Amino acid sequence: MRSTLLISSSLLVCALAGHVIAADIVVEKTDSGIAVKVGDQPFTTYIFQSKVKPILWPVIGPTGKEMTRAWPMREGNPDEKTDHPHQRSFWFTHGEVNGIDFWAEA
């Protein structure tokens, strides 16, 4: 039963993958970093100067909805928490690496 479900799921994923339309990836330099578009739709901006670490913000999903938090890059949304200012949108981080702490911020 379990193997049948796995095989069926795999076939469904493969069938759907055939319907994905390839889109052009457009990368443009901006004042704040690098903007990435999929086709003519914005996907994200790689922001070089976001306090101490670079981030991707916003990350926009296929429906046009922002998928990551906006605070502290954009303030004023009463539904968004304003805690953990070091957790900006989407970033890669680790504790101390070569004397630099990519997680905590002073």
Q: What is the pLDDT of residue 100?
A: 75
C-alpha 15 chain-centroid distance: 26
Q: Coil, strand or helix: which one is 67? A: coil
Taking the complete model, does pTM exceed 0.85, yes or no? no
From residue 79, alpha-carbon distances to 38, 65, 67, 76, 82 in Å are 28, 15, 15, 9, 10
Six-digit token pair at 15? 């069938």
* Residue 13, C-beta contacts closer than 8 angstroms, at least 6 positions apart: none
Lowest mean pLDDT among 11-15, 49-53, 76-80: 11-15
Which residue is listed with tokens 């670079």? 54
How many residues make up the chain in this entry? 106
Q: What is the pLDDT of residues 3-14, one digit of tens each?
A: 444 454 444 444
CA distance 43 to 25: 9
